[in-house]
């Protein structure tokens, strides 16, 4: 079973994402801040997918994502939850290791579409 860690300061976002992803068969856990994820990874290992909220107001999130990527390695997929398409923020997030974006507010369809590349098995060419 694939694991997913959701990090967002808003309890309602964590609750909605938890419910939607748990129904899809993922083993899901939630945290309020990226700094809590280091201890979580030390205790549980790196999740398959990390979904983390990012905004231009939070000046530390890009550095924390970069450190999480270094700690967990390349097997962990990182998706950033953002409110708007801010090219500067998106570029910094991409450089830190983010592989995809999920726009807030989201519904089941948007959530599934943003995670689909990381949930589908990789096709092996013969």
Domains of the chain by start residue, with CATH: 3-119 (3.40.50.2300)
Question: Which pLDDT belongs to residue 46?
Answer: 93
List beta partners, residue 101.
Answer: 80
Exposed (0-12), middle (13-18) or buried (19+): which is 94, by Cβ within 10 Å?
middle
Taking each helix axis from N to C end, the angle separating 34-44 and 61-72, rounded to the nearest 10 degrees, works out to: 10
Question: Which pLDDT belongs to residue 121?
Answer: 59
**pLDDT (tens digit, 0 to 9) for every residue of the chain, 126 residues total?**
899 999 999 999 999 999 999 988 889 999 999 889 999 999 999 999 999 999 888 888 999 999 999 988 889 999 999 999 999 999 999 999 999 999 999 999 999 899 988 886 544 444
Say which residues have a Cβ less than 8 Å from residue 11's Cβ, sequence separation at least 6: none
**In the Cβ-directed half-sphere of 88, how many Cα atoms lie within 13 Å?**
4
Look at the pTM and tell me if it is higher than 0.85: yes
């Amino acid at each position: 079973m694939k694991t997913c860690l959701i990090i967002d300061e808003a309890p309602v976002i964590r609750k909605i994402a938890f419910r939607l992803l748990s129904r899809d068969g993922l083993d899901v856990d939630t945290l309020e801040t990226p700094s809590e994820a280091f201890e979580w990874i030390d205790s549980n290992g790196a999740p398959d997918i990390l979904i983390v909220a990012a905004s231009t107001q939070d000046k530390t999130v890009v550095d924390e994502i970069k450190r999480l990527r270094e700690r967990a390695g390349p097997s962990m997929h990182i998706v950033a939850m953002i409110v708007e398409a801010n090219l500067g923020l998106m570029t910094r997030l991409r450089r830190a290791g983010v592989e995809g974006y999920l726009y807030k507010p989201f519904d089941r369809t948007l959530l599934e579409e943003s995670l689909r590349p990381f949930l589908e098995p990789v096709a092996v060419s013969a």
